[in-house]
Amino acid sequence: MKKVIENLKAGGVGVLRTDTLYGLLGLALNKETVEWIYFLKKRDPKKPLIVLISDLADLAFFGIRLSKEQALVLANIWPGKVSVVLPCAGKKFAYLHRGKNSIAFRLPKKKALIALLRRTGPLVAPSANPEKKRPARNISEAKSFFGTLADFYLADGTVISNKPSRLIELWKDGTIKTLR
């Protein structure tokens, strides 16, 4: 795990299992890393990525201040398999919000993933597949997609067929809009 952390902190990109699917992970606060992930996935540049955080306090990295209503909703759904779209306007994070002025965040429940996030900081974590292909169910499938272009692959021996996280938009007044 030490090498994975060092690699991520140096701007590397790799594949590992998240709490939902195998993900293609890299530092959310490194613009070049994020752009490399878009290239590897052949992702539509207008579609933002989901950012994994280790704690609600990580939202401060993105200048996000929660209303009391938002904090109450998040306390009831996190940690878990729900990604939450929150407002995040401004040029500083345009490489993440892609003109949408909002970013989807998820606080996963998986303890090993939380431990990793505490050491690296927030990570972008799209599914490990090129756009319009089925997400990788194991490391072999991920390697067939990215080969040596990913810096590391961390296998846990599990073949997964989970669904992506639920995606909601959370407004300041605590209103939830389900997007996926």
pLDDT in tens, 62-116: 999 999 999 999 999 999 999 999 999 879 999 999 999 999 999 999 999 999 9
**pTM confidence score:** 0.92
Identify whether the C-beta of residue 172 lies closer than 8 Å to the C-beta of residue 70.
yes
**Token pair recorded at residue 132:** 């319009």
Residue type, position 81, single letter? K
Identify whether the C-beta of residue 103 lies closer than 8 Å to the C-beta of residue 84.
no
pLDDT tens digits, one per residue of 151-169: 999 977 665 666 778 899 9
The rounded distance, in Å, linking the Cα atoms of 48 and 38 is 10
Q: What is the pLDDT of residue 162?
A: 65
Q: What is the pLDDT of residue 159?
A: 56
Domain 2-178 is found in CATH 3.30.56.10? no
The rounded distance, in Å, linking the Cα atoms of 6 and 10 is 6
The rounded distance, in Å, linking the Cα atoms of 73 and 78 is 9
The domain spans of the chain are 2-178
